[in-house]
Amino acid sequence: MPISLGELATQFGCELIGDPDVVVKGVASLSSASPDSLSFLSNAALKEQLLTTKAAAVILRAADADASPVASIIHDDPYACYARMAAVLCPPAVVEPGIHPTAVVAASATVADSAQIAANAVVGERSVIGEQAFVGPGTVVGPDCTVGDECRLIANVTLARSVRVGVRSILHPGVVIGADGFGNAMSPEGWVKVPQLGGVRIGADVEIGANSTVDCGALDDTVIEDGVRIDNLCMIAHNVRVGAHTALAGMVGIAGSTTIGERCLFAGKAGAVGHITVCDDVIVAARTFLSKDVSEPGTYAASFPATNAKSWARQLARFRRLGDLIERVRKLEKGRD
Amino acid sequence: MPISLGELATQFGCELIGDPDVVVKGVASLSSASPDSLSFLSNAALKEQLLTTKAAAVILRAADADASPVASIIHDDPYACYARMAAVLCPPAVVEPGIHPTAVVAASATVADSAQIAANAVVGERSVIGEQAFVGPGTVVGPDCTVGDECRLIANVTLARSVRVGVRSILHPGVVIGADGFGNAMSPEGWVKVPQLGGVRIGADVEIGANSTVDCGALDDTVIEDGVRIDNLCMIAHNVRVGAHTALAGMVGIAGSTTIGERCLFAGKAGAVGHITVCDDVIVAARTFLSKDVSEPGTYAASFPATNAKSWARQLARFRRLGDLIERVRKLEKGRD
Amino acid sequence: MPISLGELATQFGCELIGDPDVVVKGVASLSSASPDSLSFLSNAALKEQLLTTKAAAVILRAADADASPVASIIHDDPYACYARMAAVLCPPAVVEPGIHPTAVVAASATVADSAQIAANAVVGERSVIGEQAFVGPGTVVGPDCTVGDECRLIANVTLARSVRVGVRSILHPGVVIGADGFGNAMSPEGWVKVPQLGGVRIGADVEIGANSTVDCGALDDTVIEDGVRIDNLCMIAHNVRVGAHTALAGMVGIAGSTTIGERCLFAGKAGAVGHITVCDDVIVAARTFLSKDVSEPGTYAASFPATNAKSWARQLARFRRLGDLIERVRKLEKGRD
């Protein structure tokens, strides 16, 4: 959606240094931008690229404006400003209200007139689809679900049953919400399935990545609070609560009944065992798992980066002989006395 | 499904202390139970909650009955008893026999009259769907598959081809069974695909969690025995055999041609390399992987729980200097001689 | 597809020792082969099984031919030769040209006459489906995608939008390509979604396993080069490039903007952090992650195989007291001076 630099700057309250009538049609990185693109400089390491950019304008901090060979849009946080302006220039696909003839909507379901139910989607009994919501192709919304206004369930998403999704949330393809949690009781005859009877409550402005899963609660609900970001192939087990604005990167797993605070960050493949409580503002490094309650904000880690395999084999052997080494030091200490 | 305490106790052979005519309509935790709910006390840590529960009745061990302010249903294993009673009170959705008009069933397929093929499901050539089986919306059953009586393929499940699922098994949304295993032969021209020609055999009373995958065998079948429980986002590679009543928690991966015994437990993100044999009754801790045959039942572990990131950085540096430390001890030992 | 040994040997330029008119109908392992099966001996550990095989013929190295009790097909690389011959004997399902009546194809899409669009599949606006391509049941091809000739999207695959798939590539069930990458900018109001505007380019002869995901790029494309093999439940983040003929085993994760070279091998659950460059011919051991650029071909590792849990607890305690041990050695060194 083409827009002039002047309109952009006004809409977001930024100072513009340059011609307000220049129109931009898209966004691009500094190095690949063309004269009708908007770009941004956030990472100081890319400042070199600013000097030769062909962009129409660059969003940058005031201190960098002098170095810009093109128009400047001044913002203290160029990346967040870029994110918002890019959403204006390149908006998501427009919702086309209506129910596709191949979609199947239960008689007791309620679909807002402005919502779109795409090809081969299914909406179950008593479910409610909000205004301007998009239920993408192949998506299955089971019974007793609520999909909030302006939500987007991109394609082949599954809400199993009793799932509430808040407004403006985005569920990417393959996401499964509300499947049974892993509840099993051992008996002499083998495992007995423990009925999973809770639901899932997902807040507003949540985004969940492709093929991630959030299980329903055993009795109470599993809860994902407002503004949470979950990447691909993550697993949120039953009765977990993920606090507002927390972000979980790819392949993170949170085991059952654990509570994660607000504004936490879990890097790739990180996770937490079940039945613990993690306070707000905790950062967990890649491939690190929390094994007990965390009550102190800060960064937690416990992973070993790769090294040459031969060195690693030696290192592993040394590690395994630690008991022996301790014994040798003990002997030396005795000898000294 | 409302039922009287008397009927429940009789059906499961439990002693009832209290009025047999009281009717319960649902289940709840001790703390949130209302006077028409059944609850249970299994975990001693929750005994405090028993004292103030509002439940109609509580399933508990004989020794705890005196402390109960409400009716007691006595059982040595309250959790397993609860699981079974909850299934009576809150049964899974009833199967509604018939093939939905939008479902596509191949001419050579056989669907039992009492089975339900839901909206937009597909059943392939020569496949057989058993009595009271549920093939959920968006599910694809490929060619040459057998879905046993009373199975439930919840929604958007895929059985690629040549998959047999035993009776009463449950496959959650996004599960993929029978996709090609990872068989590749290197050649001067790059990888050559090794045709994956086996199938998958899944036993009775198996449950597989959302978005988990079980690949077909290369030549022989991949096998999941009776009563196995697999959580979400697990991967079972080609030609694996998982023994009866083994449970794999979320994100577990078992590499190709490995055999896992009966009644094993793999915690979250645990796993096993390929081509090994693991005996019965092995427990694998979270994020731990088995790298060789295991012939001794017991618990196996090898993971580092998270710690403060600064401490971890120091600890990692110490670990890397182990060779140096060993050398220093060697010198001290020489000096002593 | 039955074929004579003579025809097979001629087609692949192998020497045949035995009757060229014998017809084989399928393939099997040495131990389970019947007299109309072709088998192979690649792994020396199975040579014992050669002596008693009932196969019609065995593909093997010249040096093993004397030991064969049946016909021999001689090849330096029996496994790759087997892979190619098996594809002749047991070809994949034939594509049946046409668009199933329940499939939904956008008016602006182009589907080759020889392509098959299966039941309940969806093809979006402006997308192009090539000759003899198979778009399996339940698959969603979003807008602006290109599916190359002879590709197979087995079932319930999702190409979100702007995905190009090269010729002969295979995407297994549940695969999601082109979903939004994990781009978020922090702001005082919480996370701001960074529009993900790039696409995904997948080369020729690529195979991607069940439930794996490849995200679209933020501005430029995510790229999977020719001949790459990706196993199940892998995650390729936005703007990653995976070099030709690289193979990623199950549950591997590659974080954003990382470049992986050609002919690399990542074992199960291995991975790489974001924004690094890995050269050609790098092997990464199971559960090992690369944390920085790799410029030297070779094998990299950093994982701890499972051990008895009690031993592990002791070992972990020793590890945690390393600082103490170093201090004790320091004291001993001082004492000696």
Q: What is the pLDDT of residues A288-297, one digit of tens each?
A: 999 999 999 9
Any chain A CB within 8 A of the CB of B250? yes
The first and second tokens of residue A188, run together, are 């002499």
Any chain B CB within 8 A of the CB of C323? yes
Q: Which of A235, A190, C175, A217 is nearest to B231 (CA)?
A: A235
Any chain A CB within 8 A of the CB of B34? no
Neighbouring CB atoms inside 10 A of B108's CB total 12
Residuewise pLDDT in 10s, chain C (337 residues): 899 999 999 999 999 999 999 999 999 999 999 999 999 999 988 999 999 999 999 999 999 999 999 999 999 999 999 999 999 999 998 999 999 999 999 999 999 999 999 999 999 999 999 999 999 999 999 999 999 999 999 999 999 999 999 999 999 999 999 999 999 999 999 999 999 999 999 999 999 999 999 999 999 999 999 999 999 999 999 999 999 999 999 999 999 999 999 999 999 999 999 999 999 999 999 999 999 999 999 999 999 999 999 999 999 999 999 999 999 999 999 886 5
Residue type, C13: G
C-alpha distance from B167 to closest chain A C-alpha (Å): 15
Alpha-helical regions (H) of C56-158: 78-89
Query: Using 50, 70 and 90 to split pLDDT, how confident is the model at A337?
Result: low
Single pTM value for the model: 0.97
Q: Which of A180, A220, A330 should we substitute to test contact with B (largest number of B Cβ atoms within 10 Å)?
A: A180
When computed from its CA atoms, the radius of gyration of chain B, rounded to whole angstroms, is 26
Is residue B152 pLDDT above 90, yes or no?
A: yes
Task: Give me the pLDDT at residue B27, please.
Answer: 95
- Provide CATH 2.160.10.10 ranges for chain A: 98-300
pLDDT tens readout for residues B271-322? 999 999 999 999 999 999 999 999 999 999 999 999 999 999 999 999 999 9
Is residue B336 pLDDT above 90, yes or no?
A: no
Instruction: Answer for the pair A202, A221: CB distance below 8 angstroms, yes or no.
Output: no
> Of the candidates B119, B249, B306, which has its C-beta nearest A288's C-beta?
B306
Task: Give me the pLDDT at residue B337, please.
Answer: 58
List CB contacts (< 8 A) between A180 and chain B.
170, 172, 207, 209
**Range scoring the smallest mean pLDDT among B91-95, B193-197, B314-318, C271-275:** B91-95
Task: Give me the pLDDT at residue C1, please.
Answer: 85
In angstroms, the first-to-last Cα distance of chain A is: 82
Query: Using 50, 70 and 90 to split pLDDT, how confident is the model at B228?
Result: very high
What are the two backbone dihedrals, phi and then psi, of residue A315, each rounded to the nearest 5 degrees? -65, -40
Q: Which of C191, C194, C284 should we substitute to test contact with A (largest number of A Cβ atoms within 10 Å)?
A: C191
Query: Using 50, 70 and 90 to split pLDDT, how confident is the model at A74?
Result: very high
Q: What span, in angstroms and rounded, lies between the C-alpha atoms of B267 and A256?
A: 12
Q: Write the DSSP string, A63-81.
A: GGGGG-SSEEEE-SSHHHH
- Provide CATH 3.40.1390.10 ranges for chain A: 3-89
Q: Do the Cβ atoms of C194 and A82 come within 8 Å? A: yes
Any chain B CB within 8 A of the CB of A292? yes
Neighbouring CB atoms inside 10 A of C336's CB total 12
Q: What span, in angstroms and rounded, lies between the C-alpha atoms of C131 and C115?
A: 5
Q: Which residues pair with C300 in a beta bridge?
A: A308, C284
Any chain A CB within 8 A of the CB of B306? yes
Is residue B335 pLDDT above 90, yes or no?
A: no
C-alpha distance from A47 to closest chain B C-alpha (Å): 31
Half-sphere exposure of B251 (CA within 13 A, CB side): 33
Any chain C CB within 8 A of the CB of A238? no
Closest residue of B to C252, CA-based? B253
List CB contacts (< 8 A) between A197 and chain B.
26-27, 86, 90
C-alpha distance from C135 to closest chain A C-alpha (Å): 14
pLDDT tens readout for residues A120-133? 999 999 999 999 99
Percent of chain A with pLDDT over 90: 97
Q: Name the region of C44 (left: φ>0; alpha: ψ -120 to 50; beta: rest).
A: alpha
Is residue A336 pLDDT above 70, yes or no?
A: no
Task: Give me the pLDDT at residue C337, please.
Answer: 58
Instruction: Answer for the pair A143, A123: CB distance below 8 angstroms, yes or no.
Output: no
Closest residue of B to C137, CA-based? B140
The first and second tokens of residue B144, run together, are 């040459």
Touching chains, C (3+ CB pairs < 8 A): A, B
Any chain A CB within 8 A of the CB of B154? yes
pLDDT tens readout for residues A298-310? 999 999 999 999 9
Q: Do the Cβ atoms of B269 and A284 come within 8 Å? A: no
Q: Do the Cβ atoms of B303 and C304 come within 8 Å? A: yes
Task: Give me the pLDDT at residue B315, please.
Answer: 97
Q: Which residues pair with B72 in a beta bridge?
A: B17, B58
User: Which of the residues of C are catalytic?
Assistant: 238
* pLDDT, mean of residues B212-218: 97
Any chain A CB within 8 A of the CB of B301? no
Q: What is the CATH number of domain C3-89?
A: 3.40.1390.10
Beta pairing class for B298-301 and C307-308: antiparallel
Q: Which of B139, B194, B252 should we substitute to test contact with C (largest number of C Cβ atoms within 10 Å)?
A: B194
Is residue B231 pLDDT above 70, yes or no?
A: yes
| Number of inter-chain CB pairs under 8 A, A vs B | 222
Is residue A217 pLDDT above 80, yes or no?
A: yes
Q: Which of B243, B253, B309, B317 is nearest to B279 (CA)?
A: B243
Any chain B CB within 8 A of the CB of C301? no
List CB contacts (< 8 A) between A235 and chain B.
231-233, 250-251
List CB contacts (< 8 A) between B79 and chain A.
185, 194
Touching chains, B (3+ CB pairs < 8 A): A, C
C-alpha distance from C222 to closest chain A C-alpha (Å): 15
C-alpha distance from A307 to closest chain C C-alpha (Å): 5
Closest residue of A to B228, CA-based? A191
Sequence-distant (6+) residues with CB within 8 A of B228 are B203, B206, B207, B242, B243, B244, B245, B246, B247, B248
Q: Write the DSSP string, B267-323.
A: -TT-EE-SS-EE-SSEEE-TT-EE-S-B-S-EEEE-----EEHHHHHHHHHHHHTHH
Any chain A CB within 8 A of the CB of C12? no
* pLDDT, mean of residues B4-31: 95
Instruction: Answer for the pair B234, B216: CB distance below 8 angstroms, yes or no.
Output: no
C-alpha distance from C330 to closest chain A C-alpha (Å): 11
Percent of chain B with pLDDT over 90: 97
Query: A98-300 falls under which CATH superfamily?
Result: Hexapeptide repeat proteins (2.160.10.10)
C-alpha distance from B19 to closest chain C C-alpha (Å): 48
Catalytic residue among B75, B172, B238, B245: B238
Task: Give me the pLDDT at residue C335, please.
Answer: 83
List CB contacts (< 8 A) between C292 and chain A.
305
- Angle of the C322-336 helix axis to the C309-320 helix axis, nearest 10: 50
pLDDT tens readout for residues C54-70? 999 999 999 999 999 99
Exposure pattern of B243-261 as b/e (b: 16+ CB <10 Å)?
bbbbbbbbbbbbbbbbbbb
Any chain C CB within 8 A of the CB of A206? no
Is residue B240 pLDDT above 90, yes or no?
A: yes
Is residue B1 pLDDT above 90, yes or no?
A: no
Q: Which of B187, B281, B274 is nearest to B235 (CA)?
A: B274
Any chain A CB within 8 A of the CB of C323? no
Closest residue of A to B308, CA-based? A300
**By three-state DSSP, how is residue B165 classified?**
strand
Task: Give me the pLDDT at residue A142, please.
Answer: 98
Any chain A CB within 8 A of the CB of C180? yes
Is residue B253 pLDDT above 80, yes or no?
A: yes
pLDDT tens readout for residues B155-189? 999 999 999 999 999 999 999 999 999 999 999 99
Task: Give me the pLDDT at residue C95, please.
Answer: 97
